[in-house]
Amino acid sequence: MNTFILDTLAYAETLKAGGFSEQQAVTQARALAEILDRQMAIKAEVAEHENALRRDIEALRVELKRDIRESELGLTAKVAETKADLTRWVIGVGFLQTTIIIGVLLKVAKLV
């Protein structure tokens, strides 16, 4: 947080030198000091919220990366499982075709 120091006494003296009464100068200096204090508090709150948002965004980024990695691993496993199933089907169909072709050839050989 930035610190801002307002010399209210010097400010009031400047106002008095410019024609303000003592009461006007003191009131003006106090009012300005209060406004500046509120503004500094607001800026500090904004900075605090910004830091909290940055932390939340970082936490979400880490969680999202973890979720993506888990999804990738799950998909890799499903692709491997599907590949194995497809290989079993292709081999099974290949044996079936071979058996049918051999059966048909044997049947044709007996007929000729």
Map 47-68 to HEC letters. HHHHHHHHHHHHHHHHHHHHHH
Q: What digits encode the pLDDT tens for the residues 2-52?
A: 566 777 878 888 888 889 898 998 898 889 888 888 777 777 788 889 999
pLDDT of residue 47: 86
pLDDT of residue 29: 87
pLDDT of residue 37: 80
Please report where in the chains the tokens 């044997």 appear, as a residue: 106
Distances (CA, A) of 36 to 20, 23, 24, 26, 69: 21, 20, 18, 15, 49
pLDDT of residue 94: 95
Cβ-proximal residues to 86 (8 Å cutoff; 6+ apart), any chain: none
| pLDDT band with cut points at 50, 70 and 90 for residue 1 | very low
- Asked whether 56 and 13 are in contact (CB, 8 A), the reply is no
Segment 49-64 shows an average pLDDT of: 96
Segment 51-62 shows an average pLDDT of: 96
Please report where in the chains the tokens 């009031």 appear, as a residue: 12
Of 6 and 75, more confident = 75
| pLDDT band with cut points at 50, 70 and 90 for residue 104 | very high
